[in-house]
Amino acid sequence: MKIISIRNGFTADHSSTSYEFLAIDRPLDAEARAEVGKLSRRAEPTDRQVSFFYQMDNYDLPGGWEPLMKQYYDVMVSESYDWWTLAIAFDATSEQRDAVMRYAFRGPGDHGVDVSAVDDRVIVSILAFIDSNALYDLSSIPGRRRRGGGDPTETLLRLLSDIRRQLIAGDYRALYAVWEEYGWEEEAEEEDEEEWEAEPVPPEPPELESGQDIVERLRGLLDNP
């Protein structure tokens, strides 16, 4: 039961797709920057960061964003048609990879957590709606009388960097928070009970005080209209 394709109509619904990548562990050397720069004439990769912006229907990053995360970058924020992808990549042992895989799920609205692994690189992507007011508040510069002033994308990149540190340390509370927002527990109808096979539920991580603010920051941003 699925939608095979969706084609926009004559309504001039303006839309765009943007990407912001950040390298945390290893800055990009000149050769890597040149490779990344080949993807778009407008891209100006620094040793840590690069942005892409596409305005045309069906124009997108050639080859997709995953290869860049696999090879060069550690966190990425992408927004398309109000749909956000927050991606985190890190080198992982097979045990770490298996542990993260248990948090992969898709909710009813296709929100959720995707996990993919290529060799020893794990890419975790959170698919979500973001509450723009909450993001605006979170991006506010402290000490200012008025809200706002900060860059929302930078805010998200910083948050993802913090979450990445937690994931590397085996702390999956942030992914569990996404499950709590978008996941669901299915209940069998009585007559189906015998054949019922419930969707696996991610393991509930232990409660910790340290780092809980990071989880709460993420939880505050997730929107479920």
Partner 1 sequence: MKHLTAFQVCDNGDRRAVRLSPGVRLRREHFGGIVFDTRTGLTLDVDCAAFTWLCTAQQGGASPVGADEVENRLLARLLNLGVVAVAPRADTSPLAPLPGISPVSWPTGPHLTAPETVHWAITYDCTARCPDCYARRCREGAGPELDTADAVRLVERLAEWGVLQLAIGGGEPLLRPDLAEIAARARERGLVVHVTTGYHHLTYRELARLARGVTALQIGVKIERLLEDAEAEIELLAETVEHAREAGLHLGANLMLSRTGIENFETLLAALRRAGFPRVTLLRYKPPADVARWRRETLLPYEMQEFEQRLPELLATVPEMTARLDCALGFLQRRVAPADALAAGVRGCVAADRILALGPDGGMYPCSQLAHPRFRAGDILADDPAALWADSPLLKRFRYFREKHAYRLSACGVCRAKAHCGGCRVFAHDVYGAEPACPDPVLPPLTELGPAGRQVDLARFIEGCNRLWVSDYIQRYGVGRKTALRELGKSPHVLPPFDLPKKQNPDYFLVEREELIRGIQTGCGCTNAGFPYVTREEVLAWLDEWNAGDYPEWLRSTCESACVIPHVEGDDDEDYQYS
> 62, 39 in Cβ contact below 8 A?
yes
> Counting contacts by CB under 8 A, is residue 40 touching partner 1?
yes
The site map against partner 1 for 171-200 (x = CB under 8 A) is ---------xx-xxxxx-x---------x-
Which among 168, 161, 156 is positioned nearest to 220, based on CA atoms? 156
Beta-carbon contacts of residue 134 (< 8 Å; ≥ 6 apart): 220, 221, 223
Which residues from 69-98 bind partner 1, rule CB under 8 A? Answer: none
> Counting contacts by CB under 8 A, is residue 206 touching partner 1?
no
Beta-carbon contacts of residue 105 (< 8 Å; ≥ 6 apart): 112, 113, 179, 182, 183, 199, 200, 202
Both tokens of 135, joined, read 């993001």
Distance of closest approach, residue 126 Cβ to partner 1, in angstroms: 17
Phi, psi dihedral angles at 142 (to 5 degrees): -60, 145
Stretch that binds partner 1, among 61-69, 138-146, 150-158, 161-169 (CB under 8 A): 61-69
Distance of closest approach, residue 27 Cβ to partner 1, in angstroms: 26
CB-nearer residue toward partner 1: 57 or 151: 57
Q: What single-letter amino acid sits at 118?
A: V
Distance of closest approach, residue 61 Cβ to partner 1, in angstroms: 9
CB-nearer residue toward partner 1: 4 or 30: 4
> Counting contacts by CB under 8 A, is residue 146 touching partner 1?
no
Q: Catalogue the long-range contacts made by 11-14 (C-beta closer than 8 Å, 24 or more residues apart).
A: none
Chosen residue from 44, 57, 98, 120 binding partner 1 by CB under 8 A: 57
Both tokens of 104, joined, read 């992969």
Which among 149, 171, 186 is positioned nearest to 218, based on CA atoms? 171
Chosen residue from 26, 44, 47, 59 binding partner 1 by CB under 8 A: 59
Chosen residue from 31, 94, 95, 110 binding partner 1 by CB under 8 A: 110
> Counting contacts by CB under 8 A, is residue 8 touching partner 1?
yes
> 68, 76 in Cβ contact below 8 A?
yes
Stretch that binds partner 1, among 8-16, 84-92, 138-146, 147-155 (CB under 8 A): 8-16
Stretch that binds partner 1, among 35-43, 130-138, 153-161, 207-215 (CB under 8 A): 35-43
- List C-alpha distances in Å: 30 to 23, 25, 37, 48, 134: 14, 16, 10, 11, 37
Binding residues for partner 1, per CB under 8 A? 1-16, 40-42, 53-60, 62-64, 106-110, 180-181, 183-187, 189, 199
